[in-house]
Amino acid sequence: MKDIFLLDLDDTLFDFRRGEREQILDTLAHFGVSPTPRMAERFHEINDGLWKGLERGEVTRERLLTLRFDMLFAEFDLTGDAALLQRHYFEGMSQRAYLLDGAKDFLAVLGMRGRRYAVTNGSAFVQSRRLAAAGIDKDFDAVFVSEAVGCNKPSSAYADYVKNHIPGFDAARAVWVGDSLTSDRGCALAMGVDFILFRPMGRPAGYDGFFAQYYREVLALIDAM
């Protein structure tokens, strides 16, 4: 029986893409840039690529936060202070707490079955405020933000930290739910726990592990484990 639930936040519980798109457009406009949908799309691609680089140890978190703006501005021949844009972006993202449809009910069901833990590579500043803004900050027994932990998913150091800070941790009773085949599945493998890939947009090509597009499917998979 599974009663230890390890839950990613962005694109697993939160609609990160929506928040990111709205906030980058707002940030650019705030600093006098006339934003376009293409700018928002490129920011997402740049940002996603840099976070994957962080997972591989190719870039530091501190550099990533401003580099994404430097890269965007260079591509569109714009000028601006990346540090100022970063601060405005973070402030706005901390309040764009859009839960995916059914996320709150999903958390409630898991809460009746056992303990819930948030496992995220996001910023401690942003994630703590988004959890509170969404009204789910009290739904977790603990929140493991990589920035606060001091190491990133999917490192073995992060996996060990989470495992060692869950009282009575038992891998057989735990399941990890997340949207990333790198950071989330990597940590699940390092911890020796079952992993469910959650992606509302559909199963990625070549992946044949546990998969769900809807929270009800996640619950059904957990029931069968």
Distance from C-alpha of 15 to C-alpha of 99, rounded to nearest angstrom: 6
The distance of Cα 225 from the centroid of its chain, to the nearest Å, equals 24
> 70 catalytic, yes or no?
no
Amino acid at 95: Q
Contact 6, 174 (CB under 8 A): yes
Q: Are 149 and 124 in contact (CB under 8 A)?
A: no
Of the listed 3, 8, 11, 81, which one is catalytic? 8
Contacting residues for 153 by C-beta, under 8 A, at least 6 apart: 55, 119, 120, 121, 146, 159, 180, 183, 184, 186, 187
Peptide bond into 35 cis (omega under 30): no
Handedness of CA 81, 146, 184, 60 (dihedral sign): positive
- β-pair partners for 144: 119
Residues serving a catalytic function are 8
